[in-house]
């Protein structure tokens, strides 16, 4: 594997539009080198019989069925609006007719 150079770090920082202080370049160079070494280790692992996944633990949707349930405080909530029009809140127009 090729080594990460200070020039590589400067180039990546420029592409990412990061303003890295010059005194930090050596530290980031070493950190990126360690990250790439770790990735190289992961690439050696045999994953031929491993199913692709997006999570380590399977997530199951446990949401309930939607149901309409009238609320006993509907009128009280509508009465809290600065302006009301029937069973709706009246709000200022934000889109023009043009």
Which pLDDT belongs to residue 88?
A: 93
CA-based max dimension of the chain? 71
Every domain of the chain and the residues it spans: 6-43
CB within 8 Å of 55: residues ≥ 6 apart:
none
Q: Which of 32, 38, 34, 36 is nearest to 9 (CA)?
A: 32
Digit-coded pLDDT (tens) for 52-84? 888 888 888 888 888 998 899 999 999 999 999
């Amino acid at each position: 594997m090729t080594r990460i150079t200070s020039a590589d770090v400067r180039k990546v920082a420029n592409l990412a539009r990061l303003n890295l202080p010059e005194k930090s370049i050596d530290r980031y160079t070493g950190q990126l080198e360690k990250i790439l070494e770790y990735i190289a280790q992961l690439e050696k692992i045999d994953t031929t019989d491993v199913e692709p996944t997006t999570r380590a633990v399977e997530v199951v949707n446990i949401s309930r069925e939607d149901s309409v349930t009238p609320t006993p405080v509907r009128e009280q909530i509508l009465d809290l609006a600065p302006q009301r029009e029937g069973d709706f809140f009246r709000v200022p127009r934000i889109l023009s007719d043009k």
